[in-house]
Chains A and B, each alone.
Chain A
Amino acid sequence: MTDCQCNEPGWCERHQCQKHARWHELCKTNQAYFDAWERGTGPGQGDPLNRKSKTSLKACGPGCHLSRLLAKFWIRDRAGCNCKEHAVLMDNWGPAECLDRMDEIVEWMENEAKERGLPFIQRAARAMVKIAVWRARKELAHVAA
């Protein structure tokens, strides 16, 4: 076993990258992989799309882009809504994890739509998240370049 500190896959604060389940397993069990992440040369660490997006790159992340998209339909943050918190959380997750957590994000949107008495179409919501992720990826790549 290595000195890996993460209990589950996702954002790794120590190595500043997203780790899916297999990478997390390798980080915990394989010293060569763990050492590579410690050196900053591990899987995903050279990929700007795998970084903690907004805070580290000062670019608009997936949460930020989803907020912008919703704003075009006059759906904005309001009292009692966790919209901003969710957007920040999505930005911290980054594009890859947002796609992994698509169901969770869509559920937030559905709950908020019910609160506001708005019609909700799941396929449309998923499409918006994908567009937001795509735009975030594009912007992050541009910032990294």
Chain B
Amino acid sequence: MGSIYVKSGEIQFWGSPTNPTPVGIAFSVDCCPCGCWFYYDTFNIADTTTPPNFYEVSPSDWGISGFNLVEDYSTGTDGTANAQIICTQEQPSDHAGEQQLYVEVIPEDGDIYYLWLCNTSSTSVTGGVEVIFECTTAPSQWTVTIGGDSVNYTGVTANGLGFVGLGACVDADSDMAKAWIIQSAEEGLWSEGVTVGSGRFSAIGHNNVSHLNVFDNYRVAELRDTAGNTCDDCFCRCLGIAMPKELTLTVVDATGRASCAGGYTCTLTWEWNAGTSRWKGNYTVVNGAYSQFFEWCLTCESAGDNDPSNPGQNFSLSLCSSTGCASVWPDGYLTVWEPTSASTCNPLLLRFGPMPMSITDLTCSMCYPPGSGDATGEFYIEVTL
């Protein structure tokens, strides 16, 4: 099988190693209302100088060789400077300006690869976001750049075939972009304030003239479907609005035994590779000789963010680590708090609580010595931009 594109439950095969030309076989797999669109090409077709569904930008020379997309095809031993190839498969107009792109490369020292997302043209890389992946030492060390932001990778490992997976996604509404390398546990690049166009085309390229450039497994996808359901989103959203890398947590409406905690605030920072989508932050309430450490995790479950009557329903808050002062919570420090009805997504205000406190918790030394002071109290947590 060569490539697949899917929209509204229709699958078409565009070629295979035994039948390299687009065969146009189509059949319906009625999965509506899912309708998540993506285009995926394994390049597993016979050698050709004209890859289907791609527009080659001259003077480069792209082709299929050994079930991979390669450049410079004709020489097979070197590459063309600033080579570009554009995928002609156009993302649907729904959520234009939101796109995810992934491709695999076989890097060598000093290589530079490009991903372009949300281009406005199928014949040039204009109007989109440019993501640069520079491999300083293959395959482990990379610098990933979007605009003026960059991040370094030092521990990338290639897969068994020598490929390294490069990915990026963009969101025009929030002016944000992310880029990452698959085979690494290191933090990726999260760039805010990026000018993202409203285009629907994607493209890749390189600037490596000393060797044949090999690509595989090209995948471009929309992040959400027409109804706003999550397809393969790399941004966590609150009723469709992408969340930033950093949020602010504030303790509010603190009364009685918790009164000294009121007004405490901390930054919640996105955790890469935490195993789940979440932000993390901490503060220590200090009151004279007494203090208590709180570390909070705001978790985002991507599914189920479509009910306007229940903003923030896909978020939950919990303590990341054990602490005193939680003995009267429903599940102690393991309690998971859902947003209250006072929560809103635009502007962002996720409100959790009330978190009750009791004099019976003898491990709590937040506002009073254990066993003394106000008998009860409570506080709320608010998460804002």
**Chain A contact residues, CB within 8 Å of chain B:** 20-22, 26, 30, 32-33, 36, 41-43, 46-47, 96, 99-100, 102, 126, 130
Contact = CB atoms under 8 A, between A and B. Distances in A.
B203 interface: no
B385 A26 contact: yes
A30 B265 contact: no
A21 B263 contact: yes
B248 interface: yes
B344 A43 contact: yes
Contact of B252 (A20, A41, A46, A47): A20
A43 B349 contact: yes
Interface in B199-255: 248, 250, 252-253, 255
B346 A32 contact: yes
A47 B252 CA distance: 15
Find the residue from A26, A41, A102, A126 having the highest chain B CB count within 10 A: A26
B127 interface: no
B255 A99 contact: yes
Contacts, number: 46
A102 B374 CA distance: 13
Contacts of B82: none
Find the residue from A46, A96, A99 having the highest chain B CB count within 10 A: A99
A36 B259 CA distance: 29
Q: How large is the interface on B (under 10, 10 to 19, 20 to 34, 35 or more residues)?
A: 10 to 19
B119 to A, nearest CB: 29
Q: Is the interface of A mostly helix, strand, loop or mixed?
A: helix
Given A36-B347, A43-B344, A99-B255, 12 more contacts: A20-B253, A22-B263, A22-B382, A26-B384, A26-B385, A30-B385, A43-B342, A47-B342, A96-B253, A99-B259, A130-B255, A130-B256
B255 A22 contact: no
A22 B347 contact: no
Interface of B: 248, 250, 252-253, 255-256, 259, 262-263, 265, 342, 344, 346-347, 349, 374, 382, 384-385
A33 to B, nearest CB: 4
Contacts of B248: 22
Contacts of A22: 248, 250, 252, 263, 265, 382, 384
17 contacts: A20-B252, A21-B250, A21-B263, A22-B248, A22-B263, A22-B384, A26-B385, A30-B385, A32-B346, A36-B347, A42-B347, A43-B342, A43-B349, A96-B253, A99-B255, A102-B259, A126-B374
Contacts of B344: 36, 41, 43
Contacts of A126: 374
Contact of B347 (A21, A30, A99): A30
A36 B262 contact: no
A99 B253 contact: yes
Contacts of A47: 342
Find the residue from B256, B259, B263, B347 having the highest chain A CB count within 10 A: B347
Which 6 A-B residue pairs are closest in the complex by CB-CB distance? A22-B250, A33-B347, A43-B349, A36-B347, A32-B347, A99-B255
A98 to B, nearest CB: 10
A26 B349 CA distance: 11
A43 B347 contact: yes
A63 to B, nearest CB: 18
A96 B263 CA distance: 13
Given A20-B263, A21-B263, A22-B384, A36 B346 contact: yes
Contacts of A46: 342
Contacts of A102: 255, 259
Nearest to A43: B349
Find the residue from A22, A26, A32, A33 having the highest chain B CB count within 10 A: A22
A99 B385 CA distance: 25
A22 B250 CA distance: 7
A45 to B, nearest CB: 10
A32 B174 CA distance: 12
Nearest to A96: B253
A1 B110 CA distance: 44
A86 B278 CA distance: 46
A32 B344 CA distance: 13
B262 A100 contact: yes
A100 B254 CA distance: 8
Contacts of A20: 250, 252-253, 263
B114 to A, nearest CB: 33
A41 B262 CA distance: 24
